[in-house]
Homo-oligomer: A and B are copies of this chain.
Amino acid sequence: MAKEVTKRSENYSQWYNDLVVKADLAEQSAVRGCMVIKPYGYAIWEKMQHILDGMFKETGHKNAYFPLFIPKSFFSREAEHVAGFAKECAVVTHHRLMNDPDGNGIVVDPEAKLEEELIVRPTSETIIWNTYKNWVHSWRDLPILCNQWCNVVRWEMRTRLFLRTAEFLWQEGHTAHATAEEAEAEKTRMVNVYAKFARETMALPVVVGHKSPGERFAGALDTMTIEALMQDGKALQAGTSHFLGQNFAKSFDVTFTNKEGKQDYVWATSWGVSTRLMGALIMAHGDDNGLVLPPALAPIQVVMVPIYKSEEEHNAVLDKMYEVKKALEAKGHSVEIDDRDTLRPGFKFAEWELKGVPVRLAMGPRDLQNGTVEVARRDTLEKISEPLEGLEERIIGLLDDIQKNIYNKALAYRDASIRKVDTWEEFKEEIEKGGFLLCHWDGTAETEAKIQEETKATIRCIPVDSAVCMEEGKCVYTGKPSHQRVLFARSY
């Protein structure tokens, strides 16, 4: 019997955990808050990396690698940054173990205390800007457009697989520019790269916008975000891009001679997405049978299950399957034949549904005779009998169709979940139903904080799509005048 998955309607949080663990994406490790990403989950992350990396390179970025450790003193340099980041983190204080003199295994060697403690990077602005200092002298050395794929550690108290873990994998872009305009343009370019990736590859209809000042990255003058909506009506911040002004350049003394021959501080951006995207992917599209993977990210796009009684039937079906597999692989698709002889077809069907494989083909001796095959699509759970003739082209068209359908379904859900709300009574009522509320806000941090206190809702973003939100009105909480609606939601 296949593994049981909790229904979303029963316990959404348990449903999420079941999908992660039972579909073999990830599991808790022996180290508190750190996860093991299993091969099937890692294969999805690799596809994300590959596609994003290509997009970064197309926009002129190069990869590099900076140290895992950051000297403690670096964090004190940028005042806002230390407040936002340096608190809950892994601190390395010693560099040697030794045999316990009392014979109880091994202990930390007290003689091997570091002069200055090292912090395992929670993000790399400080160490990178300390490095850029030596790379930049004149405007000719700019821009610097670097990205790094790496692990980071933030000592979270409450963790959830992919969504919030002490260690996670991510990419962090760090760019240096001669002018504020260039840096602002870079920040916008990269949030748009993320939005395109989310929409086209992940089938996630994200909203692009600016964070309110209170929700900005520690040290940023502007933070842009892509916000996705999960099926339980909560928002998930899926990627951010920051305009850092000259803050880090000033803290790490990174100056350059501009075209006019004058010294100036360098302008900065940083931007990142992480393995949190895996959480978004699972929660946006999964159903009560398991994962629903967009074909663009599915490690296996097509799985084939042979149906047979005799060895002769088995061989005949397999021969045909290898033919189809070869044809699809030649066009760049990933195909697996599930020929395990100890499991019944029904079990296999349920397992591949749990794992979210977009297309499943089942073929038996009768199909061979009739020149047909049973095609099941994961997104709609429909099954139809298709002629073998011209199958490859139809499968390729079907994968395309599934990718679009998953996106459209999520888009329809999101659009139905965005409501304009104009009174505080209505706000409190509507926020309980989940989704995005488009409301007027008086622009103050006080109001933002009070709304969060009373409803747990935060401003997810001030959308860039002005058609959606540019209008005069009154703050939903204070009634003060407002020139623009912003997007509120409860969030992960």
**Cβ-defined contact, B118 with A106, below 8 A:** no
A73 within 8 A of B: yes
**Cβ-defined contact, A93 with B95, below 8 A:** no
Of A31-39, A311-319, A377-385, A425-433, the one touching chain B? A31-39
**Cβ-defined contact, B43 with A62, below 8 A:** yes
User: Smallest CB–CB gap between A1 and chain B, Å?
Assistant: 17
Q: Which residue of B lies closest to A83 (CB)?
A: B99
Of A64-72, A438-446, A461-469, A482-490, the one touching chain B? A64-72
A117 within 8 A of B: yes
**Cβ-defined contact, B153 with A66, below 8 A:** no
CB < 8 Å: which of B65, B92, B146 contacts A169? B65
CA A82 to CA B96, docked complex, whole Å: 12
**Cβ-defined contact, B108 with A67, below 8 A:** no
CA A108 to CA B118, docked complex, whole Å: 10
Name which of A29, A71, A108 has the most chain B CB atoms within 10 A of its CB: A29
A117-B108, A151-B150 known; A75+B63 contact, CB < 8 A: no
A254 within 8 A of B: no
CA A140 to CA B342, docked complex, whole Å: 10
CB < 8 Å: which of B92, B98, B131, B150 contacts A120? B92
**Cβ-defined contact, A87 with B96, below 8 A:** yes
A91 within 8 A of B: yes
A86 within 8 A of B: yes
A63-B42, A63-B46, A167-B68 known; A155+B96 contact, CB < 8 A: yes
Copies of this chain in its oligomeric complex: 2
A130 within 8 A of B: yes
User: Smallest CB–CB gap between A300 and chain B, Å?
Assistant: 12
Q: Which residue of B lies closest to A275 (CB)?
A: B65
Contacts of A8 in B (CB 8 A): none
**Cβ-defined contact, A127 with B29, below 8 A:** yes
User: Smallest CB–CB gap between A390 and chain B, Å?
Assistant: 31
Q: Which residue of B lies closest to A73 (CB)?
A: B105
**Cβ-defined contact, A127 with B30, below 8 A:** yes
CA A155 to CA B86, docked complex, whole Å: 24
User: Smallest CB–CB gap between A474 and chain B, Å?
Assistant: 40
A97 within 8 A of B: yes
**Cβ-defined contact, B70 with A82, below 8 A:** no
**Cβ-defined contact, B88 with A95, below 8 A:** yes
Within 8 A of B (CB), among A149-198: 150-151, 153, 155, 167, 169
Contacts of A38 in B (CB 8 A): 64
**Cβ-defined contact, B127 with A67, below 8 A:** no
Q: Which residue of B lies closest to A38 (CB)?
A: B64
CA A66 to CA B120, docked complex, whole Å: 16
User: Smallest CB–CB gap between A217 and chain B, Å?
Assistant: 19
A63-B46, A86-B106 known; A39+B93 contact, CB < 8 A: no
A75-B97, A76-B106, A95-B89 known; A43+B65 contact, CB < 8 A: no
User: Smallest CB–CB gap between A21 and chain B, Å?
Assistant: 11
Q: Which residue of B lies closest to A128 (CB)?
A: B36
Contacts of A67 in B (CB 8 A): 29-31, 34-36, 167
CA A97 to CA B39, docked complex, whole Å: 35
CB < 8 Å: which of B36, B74, B95 contacts A90? B95
Contacts of A97 in B (CB 8 A): 72, 75, 86-87, 89, 91, 119
A199 within 8 A of B: no
User: Smallest CB–CB gap between A344 and chain B, Å?
Assistant: 15
Interface string of A436-480 (1 = CB under 8 A from B): 000000000000000000000000000000000000000000000
A30-B130, A96-B155 known; A42+B62 contact, CB < 8 A: yes
**Cβ-defined contact, B91 with A29, below 8 A:** no
CB < 8 Å: which of B63, B68, B71, B169 contacts A153? B68
CB < 8 Å: which of B27, B90, B140 contacts A118? B90
User: Smallest CB–CB gap between A443 and chain B, Å?
Assistant: 30
Between-chain CB contacts (< 8 Å), 26 pairs = A29-B131, A30-B67, A30-B127, A31-B70, A31-B127, A34-B69, A36-B67, A39-B62, A42-B62, A43-B63, A65-B169, A68-B120, A68-B151, A69-B167, A72-B106, A75-B106, A87-B98, A88-B95, A89-B95, A89-B96, A91-B94, A91-B95, A91-B96, A93-B94, A96-B155, A140-B342
**With A30-B74, A34-B69 given, can you name 13 additional A-B contacts, CB distance below 8 Å?**
A27-B131, A27-B134, A31-B70, A31-B118, A34-B68, A39-B63, A42-B65, A68-B167, A69-B90, A72-B108, A86-B97, A88-B95, A91-B108
**Ranked 5 nearest A-B pairs via Cβ:** A39-B62, A34-B67, A76-B105, A37-B65, A91-B94
